[in-house]
Chains A and B, each alone.
Chain A
Amino acid sequence: MACGPSKSNSVQNTVATLCDLPEELLLEIIQHLDNPALLSLGLTCRCVHFLALDTLFSNNNIHSPKSGWLTAYDTPVETLPALRHALFIQKLDQLYYYFNPPFKRMLEEVRDLRALMSRMPTAGVVKLHFSVVDRHFGVAGREPRGLNAEVWKEEFQGLLDVVLEKGCYELYVEDGATLVGLFSKHIVEFPDVDGELYFYFATQLVPFSQLLELIARKPSRQILMCGSSHPWNL
């Protein structure tokens, strides 16, 4: 980060840094950076942290997270890592977040949101949307079935637990139906106590009697139980 020659012999060993530049000049440089560069720069040191991350947010129409109100729709992949590390975000009372595909990114977003909300003192209104994800996964063949239900449960449930424990008074979860269809295991046990045993079969809850009929039609079928690595041989 050495910037130019030293002024005198007495300060010969002093190294000038980027932060020694006037703010106007720094801003001029920062405004030419793309999102990944802004995020990386924002994580280097405190003096450029505020300028770089603030620029990243304003460049991507992420308005006033500083005020505690965040709406993130169709935002770049750097959004949540930036929010997570932004020191100037001290509270987030209203969070409106639209998750993005593919699986890997969605999982990362859930983890980042959880980390972000964990460092917030409180949570107020939390609205989590999967409409973008549903539109993506709703197109047949776009993603192979491969979302691990247990991992997804742990991550998303963990996020919901954190926001609720932070005092969230308004929780809104919308869409996400396509995700269940992409779980890698299709039959999971669900015991009920009203006299009938219910099972999930290909995401549908069916009474045990109907499941038996189903099995009777294809007696050689194997049933995978969620949480069990061993199939039921019937």
Chain B
Amino acid sequence: MESVNRSFAPGQNVTVETPDGQRVIHSPIVPVRNIKPTKVFIHSDMLLQNPFFEWTIGMVNSGASTIGTLSMKLSDLPSETWKVFLNGITLPQLFDFEITCGLVVPLQNVRFTDVHSFLEHHPSIEILYLYGVEVPKGIWPPPSPTIPILPRLRSIMAHPFYVVWVLNSRLLDKEASPNLTNIGISSECARNPPAFDYALFDHALECVAAFPTGKSKLVLRFASIGDTNISDWIKKHLATTNDTPKSSVISRLYNITSLFISSFWHVDYDWNLIGLLPGWLGMFPNLTAIEFTDQPQANVHKLEDKEFLKNVAMACRRVGVLGVQKRKLRLDKVRRNINIKMKAESGQGSEGGVSA
């Protein structure tokens, strides 16, 4: 982190508190000017290449006292560029940090070590979104950081590797973030291999189940190509319902009260998957809210199907409202109608019996 490009004029020193409580003085190299951006979105490779690269680092450092949101989009830049960029900036006010990319994860991306270093030096981050950053091959479980990182984290959305890594880090902290109540686990669309291993979701969910929070929101994002992996993963959990109680991690997610399921536009839920969802949703012990977001229109039609709604209403009796995109569907009404119908049917049956 100390290695920054020295070709800029020296700016004002910035004191940063590291996770172990030490105060480190950084002297970011910044052009001298008075700018006050609070949100910076660098979604352009152009700004991270010559002739703009130095200017971009200088601009970000110039706004260090005000920048709260930094979003960057990966495309085809080599990992070295990201290393130099992330090592070259220090943002003491940063609370919302995002690295994202297009649908398919690029072959070259931000290395885990560079993400680690950046997060370690930015304890102010409260919201973290990572999509498309390096998931080191052949390393599982993720290495536990010796020093807890991100003490103020409230929300994370990332590949299971990073969720496990961050949650384990938070568990190291005796005052583990009571604020971390929004946990998102995302699959990713990679070139090689294209299929996503959903067993990784289970590892991340084990960490979520063990995480000492009260009511939390869980976001599961299915972004991989092909829906069979998702169905197989859900089937595997459903198959455990007759096994030892709580053998599926889903049944042990007591802290999860809200479940958001999102997808990318290309992820099509076939009717087989739609048929599996109610039983799987019913395995969550404390759900009171379910929402399907970022769904392609074809999925929306299936998720609003009356039979599907009936099955979800009966499987998740504490869920009052099911959100599908922007629509709110009243499951309590669905249940009431089912009960009325059942009573009417049983009433008709007894009347018939009486009359007989």
Identify the A interface with B (CB < 8 A). 127, 130, 149-150, 152-153, 156-157, 160-161, 164-165, 167-177, 179-180, 188, 190-194, 198, 200, 203-207, 226
Shortest distance in angstroms between A16's beta carbon and chain B's nearest beta carbon?
52
- Whether B76 and A177, one on each chain, are in contact in the complex, defined by CB atoms closer than 8 angstroms, is yes
B26 at the interface (CB under 8 A from A): no
0/1 interface trace, chain B 38-59, chain A, CB 8 Å (1 if under): 1111111111011111010001
Closest 8 A/B residue pairs (Cβ): A176-B46, A172-B41, A153-B51, A177-B45, A194-B3, A164-B35, A174-B43, A170-B39
- Beyond A173-B41, A176-B47, 6 additional contacts (C-beta under 8 Å) are A130-B44, A149-B50, A165-B34, A173-B44, A198-B80, A226-B51
- Whether A170 and B5, one on each chain, are in contact in the complex, defined by CB atoms closer than 8 angstroms, is no
- Whether B41 and A198, one on each chain, are in contact in the complex, defined by CB atoms closer than 8 angstroms, is no
Q: Within residues 51 to 70 of chain B, which ones have a CB less than 8 A from any CB in chain A?
A: 51-53, 55, 59, 63, 66
**Residue from A149, A152, A177, A194 within 8 A of B75 (CB atoms):** A177
Residues in A neighbouring B146, C-beta threshold 8 A: none
**Residue from A177, A192, A193 within 8 A of B44 (CB atoms):** A177
- Whether B46 and A193, one on each chain, are in contact in the complex, defined by CB atoms closer than 8 angstroms, is no
Residues in A neighbouring B53, C-beta threshold 8 A: 190
Residues in B neighbouring A176, C-beta threshold 8 A: 44-47
- Whether B43 and A169, one on each chain, are in contact in the complex, defined by CB atoms closer than 8 angstroms, is no
CB nearest neighbor in A for B51: A153
CB nearest neighbor in A for B38: A169
- Whether B5 and A205, one on each chain, are in contact in the complex, defined by CB atoms closer than 8 angstroms, is no
B142 at the interface (CB under 8 A from A): no
Shortest distance in angstroms between A140's beta carbon and chain B's nearest beta carbon?
16
Residues in A neighbouring B45, C-beta threshold 8 A: 176-177, 180
A192-B5, A207-B80, A226-B51 known; A165-B33 Cβ under 8 A? yes
- Whether A177 and B46, one on each chain, are in contact in the complex, defined by CB atoms closer than 8 angstroms, is yes
- Cα–Cα, bound, A169→B77 (Å): 27
- Cα–Cα, bound, A129→B158 (Å): 26
Residues in A neighbouring B7, C-beta threshold 8 A: 191
- Whether B77 and A173, one on each chain, are in contact in the complex, defined by CB atoms closer than 8 angstroms, is no
Interface size for chain B: under 10, 10 to 19, 20 to 34, or 35 or more residues?
Answer: 35 or more
Shortest distance in angstroms between B258's beta carbon and chain A's nearest beta carbon?
29
Residues in A neighbouring B275, C-beta threshold 8 A: none
CB nearest neighbor in B for A192: B84
0/1 interface trace, chain B 97-126, chain A, CB 8 Å (1 if under): 000000000000000000000000000000
Shortest distance in angstroms between B49's beta carbon and chain A's nearest beta carbon?
5
**Residue from A173, A179, A200, A206 within 8 A of B42 (CB atoms):** A173
Shortest distance in angstroms between B353's beta carbon and chain A's nearest beta carbon?
69
Residues in B neighbouring A193, C-beta threshold 8 A: 3-6
Residues in B neighbouring A161, C-beta threshold 8 A: 33
Shortest distance in angstroms between A182's beta carbon and chain B's nearest beta carbon?
11
Shortest distance in angstroms between A223's beta carbon and chain B's nearest beta carbon?
14
**Residue from A150, A164, A177 within 8 A of B51 (CB atoms):** A150
Residues in B neighbouring A168, C-beta threshold 8 A: 35, 37
B36 at the interface (CB under 8 A from A): yes
A165-B34, A173-B44, A191-B5 known; A206-B80 Cβ under 8 A? yes
Residues in A neighbouring B286, C-beta threshold 8 A: none
Can you pick out 5 interface pairs between chain A and chain B where the beta carbons lie within 8 Å of each other?
Answer: A153-B51, A164-B33, A172-B39, A173-B44, A226-B51
CB nearest neighbor in A for B55: A157
- Whether A171 and B52, one on each chain, are in contact in the complex, defined by CB atoms closer than 8 angstroms, is no
B168 at the interface (CB under 8 A from A): no
- Whether A164 and B59, one on each chain, are in contact in the complex, defined by CB atoms closer than 8 angstroms, is yes
- Cα–Cα, bound, A51→B297 (Å): 44
- Pick from A149, A175, A188, A192 the residue with the most CB of B within 10 Å: A192
B87 at the interface (CB under 8 A from A): yes
- Whether A170 and B37, one on each chain, are in contact in the complex, defined by CB atoms closer than 8 angstroms, is yes
- Pick from A167, A191, A193 the residue with the most CB of B within 10 Å: A193
- Cα–Cα, bound, A206→B63 (Å): 28
Shortest distance in angstroms between A162's beta carbon and chain B's nearest beta carbon?
11
Residues in B neighbouring A156, C-beta threshold 8 A: 52
B214 at the interface (CB under 8 A from A): no
Shortest distance in angstroms between B330's beta carbon and chain A's nearest beta carbon?
37
CB nearest neighbor in B for A168: B37
- Cα–Cα, bound, A192→B50 (Å): 13
Residues in B neighbouring A188, C-beta threshold 8 A: 50-51
- Cα–Cα, bound, A173→B81 (Å): 18
- Pick from B40, B50, B63, B84 the residue with the most CB of A within 10 Å: B50
Shortest distance in angstroms between A184's beta carbon and chain B's nearest beta carbon?
12
- Whether A205 and B36, one on each chain, are in contact in the complex, defined by CB atoms closer than 8 angstroms, is no
- Whether A171 and B50, one on each chain, are in contact in the complex, defined by CB atoms closer than 8 angstroms, is no
**Residue from B5, B33, B39, B46 within 8 A of A171 (CB atoms):** B39
- Whether B47 and A173, one on each chain, are in contact in the complex, defined by CB atoms closer than 8 angstroms, is yes
B78 at the interface (CB under 8 A from A): yes
Shortest distance in angstroms between B98's beta carbon and chain A's nearest beta carbon?
12
- Whether B49 and A203, one on each chain, are in contact in the complex, defined by CB atoms closer than 8 angstroms, is yes
Shortest distance in angstroms between A124's beta carbon and chain B's nearest beta carbon?
11
- Pick from B41, B63, B76, B80 the residue with the most CB of A within 10 Å: B80
